[in-house]
Amino acid sequence: MDDMKNRKIAVIVGGPSTEAEVSRHTGAAIAEALQKKGYHTETIELVPQKLAAQLVGKKIEVVFNALHGRYGEDGVLQGLCEMMGIPYTGPGVMASAVGMNKVMSKCAFMGAGIPTAPFQYYFDSMGMQDIEADINKKFHLPVVIKSAAQGSSIGTAIVDTSEGIMPALQEAFKYGKSIIAEAFLDGNEYTVAVMDDVAFPIIQIVPSTGKYDYYSKYTPGVTQHLCPAPVSEELTKNMQQIALDVFHLCHCNGVARVDFMTDKEGHPFALEINTVPGMTSTSLVPDAARAMGVSFEDLCEKILLEASTGKF
């Protein structure tokens, strides 16, 4: 720990993704927390073509990844740090790339026998009308349509009518070449953070708007985080074990968050894994950590102290 306090730490934020502003809030909170702990941090706004030179020029010795979306969660920053020999927080290249892409992660879940909502993936080369027809054929309404590589519910829609499928497809394909259509689960929404082979207390997410979208996620007071979630001991253990299974399947490091929905019978289904979870004042992982008696500052320090290279 003392050695880390003598090292120059860069908190990387921003970037070209649709979640850049969320990343800046995350990075500001992390930098402040680490400074309170006595660490020397500098916040760097990502400019992809300049980052390597900045890290060298500023003599950065450790990278704290606070980038959401492109470059931060897809393995690109991780690969850069690996090649430069700079320790970095969070998972490695493979875990990041798989976790970021819902097509890859959902297929991995299914292959490993991890319960996940029934889904179908589509590529833009398939033709929009053919995709629309296939969704109408294979799914009951409502159906969830998601961009395969976005977070914060960007590019995601719950579609109630056949007429709503095409606009949802057009919106989702704005953010990439592949999308997911997923069966709508009419239970409750939960999330489980994992770190050091320990599953945190479960959070039940209860948005006052009725949907957990970008507005509900990042507007203080709009969404309740019930932690520990008011669920049975059996469901608690089941979701925590599934979260650990997902964490191990993806070869994660640091802290990650696995999101769940239940069906009307109360069975849990893993939807996705977030390998760079938000760390803002309204974020889920800090809430779960506090329920365990871990302060935000201690959580940030713990993540930092696990920074390394040579990750799978």
- The enclosing domain of 8 has a CATH number of 3.40.50.20
**Torsion (CA) 162, 165, 167, 169 in degrees, nearest 10:** -170
Instruction: Say if residues 299 and 285 touch (Cβ distance below 8 Å).
Output: yes
Q: What is the mean pLDDT of residues 290-295?
A: 94
What pLDDT is stored for residue 175 in this prediction? 84
Mark which of 183, 198, 219 sits at the end of a domain. Answer: 183
The answer on 84 and 38 residing in a single domain is: yes
Of 259, 283, 287, 301, the active-site residue reads 259
Residues 105 and 247 reside in one and the same domain: yes
pLDDT band (50, 70, 90) for residue 83: very high
Least confident segment among 44-58, 102-116, 210-224: 210-224
| Count of domains for the chain | 3
Query: Is 152 part of the annotated catalytic residue set?
Result: yes
The reply to whether 290 belongs to the active site is no
210 is catalytic: no
Shared domain check, 224 and 197: yes
- Within this chain, do residues 220 and 109 fall inside the same structural domain, yes or no? yes
Task: Identify whether 188 is a catalytic site residue.
Answer: no
Beta bridge partners of 13: 45
Is 155 catalytic? The answer is: no
Q: Are residues 166 and 208 in the same domain?
A: no
Contacts of 303 (CB under 8 A, 6+ apart): 64, 89, 90, 195, 254, 255
Computed over every residue of the chain, the mean pLDDT equals 90
- Active-site residue 287, yes or no? no
The pLDDT confidence band at residue 150, using thresholds 50, 70 and 90, is: low
Active site residue 24: no
- What single letter denotes the amino acid at residue 231? V
pLDDT one-digit tens code per residue, 211-262: 544 344 444 456 788 999 999 999 999 999 999 999 999 999 999 999 999 9
Give Cα 30 distance to the centre of its chain. Answer: 16
Is the residue at 310 inside a domain? Answer: no
One domain, residues 7 and 104: no
Are residues 68 and 142 located together in one domain of the fold? no
pLDDT confidence of residue 26: 93
Same domain, 260 and 111: yes
17 belongs to a structural domain: yes
Q: What is the pLDDT of residues 177-205, one digit of tens each?
A: 999 999 999 899 999 999 989 999 999 99
Query: Can you tell me whether residue 236 is helix, strand or coil?
Result: helix
Query: 35 with 177, same domain?
Result: no
**115: exposed, middle or buried (Cβ count in 10 Å: 0-12, 13-18, 19+):** middle
Give the range of the structural domain holding residue 50, as residue numbers without chain letter: 2-90
- Domain assignment of residue 77, yes or no: yes
Over residues 163-170, the mean pLDDT reads 94
Measured in degrees and rounded to the nearest 5, phi and psi for residue 248 equal: -70, -40
Q: How confident is the model at residue 22 (pLDDT cuts 50, 70, 90)?
A: confident
- What pTM value is reported for the model? 0.89
Residue 214 catalytic? no
Other Cβ atoms closer than 10 A to 227: 21
Catalytic entry in 188, 218, 283, 287:
218
